[in-house]
Amino acid sequence: MEHTVDDTTACRKSHHPESVKKDMTTRLNRIEGQIRGIKGMIEKDVYCDDVITQLAATQSALNSVAKILLEGHLKGCVVDRLSDGDDAVIDELVVTIHKLMKK
């Protein structure tokens, strides 16, 4: 039977250290504030270039969170699954990298 990403991810969880989770949560809270700020800028008819600058900063911040998550995934989840003989993680990783590279 062929595994799909949905079949293999349904019962798994990540296992990030509390410090990493706290860092990512802090970053995401900041990003959430940036998004609210951008929304307010649009509602106040702020100059387009200024809004675009804030959008770019927010995208960069999201990319930083993705890098942290990917690093932890590679060092933890992927290594563990490969050690367990689960080579399907490679196909899953390829799909994940493609998603990140679309940006």
How many whole angstroms separate alpha carbon 23 and alpha carbon 29?
Answer: 10
Grouped pLDDT means (10 residues each) for the chain, 103 residues? 47 82 98 98 98 98 96 92 94 93 79
Class level of CATH domain 18-101: mainly alpha
pTM over 0.85: no
Contacts of 92 (CB under 8 A, 6+ apart): 5, 8, 9
pLDDT at 14: 79
The full set of domain ranges for the chain reads 18-101
pLDDT at 103: 60
pLDDT at 3: 44
Amino acid of residue 15: H
pLDDT at 82: 93
- Backbone φ and ψ for 2, nearest 5 degrees, come out as -80, 135
pLDDT at 13: 80
Question: CA torsion sign, 21 to 90 to 3 to 103?
Answer: positive
